[in-house]
Amino acid sequence: MSLSEKQVVALIEELTVKHLRVWVQEGWIEPRIADEGPVYDEIDVARLRFVCQLKHEMNVNDDALPVILDLVDQLYGLRRTLRMVGHAIENQPQSTRDLIAKAIRESSGP
Amino acid sequence: MTDDPYEILGVPRDASQSEISKTYRKLAKKLHPDLNPGNPEAEERFKKVSGAYQLLKDPEQRERFDRGEIDASGAEKHQHKFYREYADAGDTGRYHSTAGFQDFEDVSDIFVDLFGQGRGPRANMRTRGPNVHYRMEVDFLEAVNGAKRRITMPDAKSIDLTIPAGTRADSVLRLKGKGRPGHGDGPAGDALIEIAVKPHHLFRREGDNIVIDLPITLDEAVLGGKVEVPTVSGRVNLTIPAGANSGRVMRLKGKGVKPVGRPAGDQLVKLTIAMPSEIDPELQAFIQTWRESHAYDPRTNIKSAS
What's the ipTM?
0.78
- pLDDT single digits (tens) A48-81: 999 999 998 888 998 899 899 989 988 888 888 8
Q: Answer yes or no: is pLDDT of B107 > 60.
A: no
Chain A residues inside the 8 Å CB shell of B112? none
**d(CA A69, nearest CA chain B) in Å:** 9
Q: Where are the beta strands (DSSP E) in A1-110?
A: 32-34, 37-39
For chain B, what percent of residues have pLDDT higher than 90?
37
**d(CA A88, nearest CA chain B) in Å:** 11
* Top-confidence residue, B114 or B242: B242
Average confidence (pLDDT) over B43-52: 88
pLDDT at B125: 39
pLDDT at B91: 57
Residues 93-152 of B with CB under 8 A from A: 93-101, 111, 115, 118-119, 121-123, 130, 132-137, 149-152
Closest CA in chain B for residue A68 = B35
pLDDT at B123: 43
pLDDT at B128: 72
For chain B, what percent of residues have pLDDT higher than 70?
85
Q: Residue B190's CB: how many other CB atoms inside 10 A?
A: 21
Q: Answer yes or no: is pLDDT of B126 > 60.
A: no
pLDDT at B109: 60
- pLDDT single digits (tens) B205-222: 999 999 999 999 999 999
Q: What CATH number does domain A1-60 carry, 3.40.440.10, 1.10.3720.10, 1.10.1660.10, 3.40.630.30?
A: 1.10.1660.10
Helix (H) or strand (E) holding B172: strand B172-175
Average confidence (pLDDT) over B276-289: 93
Closest CA in chain A for residue B27 = A58
> Least CB-CB distance to A49: which of B80, B100, B150?
B80
With CA atoms as reference, report the closest residue to B22 among B51, B48, B56.
B56
CB pairs under 8 A between A and B: 138
Parse chain A into domains and list their residue ranges: 1-60, 63-110
Fold of B5-87: Helix Hairpins (1.10.287)
> Least CB-CB distance to A49: which of B35, B83, B122?
B83
Closest CA in chain B for residue A23 = B154
Q: Residue B143's CB: how many other CB atoms inside 10 A?
A: 25
Average confidence (pLDDT) over B275-295: 92
> B250 has which bridge partners?
B269
Chain B residues inside the 8 Å CB shell of A75? 37, 100
Cβ contact A33–B88 (<8 Å): no
The domains spanning B128-197 and B204-294 adopt the same CATH topology: yes
- The CATH number assigned to the domain with range B204-294 reads 2.60.260.20
Q: Answer yes or no: is pLDDT of B78 > 70.
A: no
DSSP B71: -
Cβ contact B94–A30 (<8 Å): yes
Closest CA in chain A for residue B81 = A46
Cβ contact A42–B99 (<8 Å): no
Q: Answer yes or no: is pLDDT of B77 > 60.
A: no
pLDDT band at B249 (very low <50, low <70, confident <90, very high): very high
- The CATH number assigned to the domain with range B128-197 reads 2.60.260.20
- pLDDT single digits (tens) B137-186: 899 999 999 998 888 777 677 788 889 999 988 888 888 888 877 776 67
Cβ contact A32–B135 (<8 Å): yes
* Amino acid identity, position B36: N
**Alpha carbon separation from B294 to B6, B162, B248, B286, B303 (Å, rounded):** 87, 59, 23, 12, 20
* Amino acid identity, position B71: D
Residues 21-50 of B with CB under 8 A from A: 24-25, 28-29, 32, 34-35, 37-38
> Least CB-CB distance to A59: which of B25, B94, B97?
B25
Whether the CB-CB separation of A32 and A38 falls below 8 Å is answered with: yes
Q: Which of A13-17, A50-54, A77-81, B262-266 shows the lowest mean pLDDT across its residues?
A: A77-81
Q: Answer yes or no: is pLDDT of A86 > 50.
A: yes
pLDDT at B108: 46
Cβ contact B135–A69 (<8 Å): no
Parse chain B into domains and list their residue ranges: 5-87, 128-197, 204-294
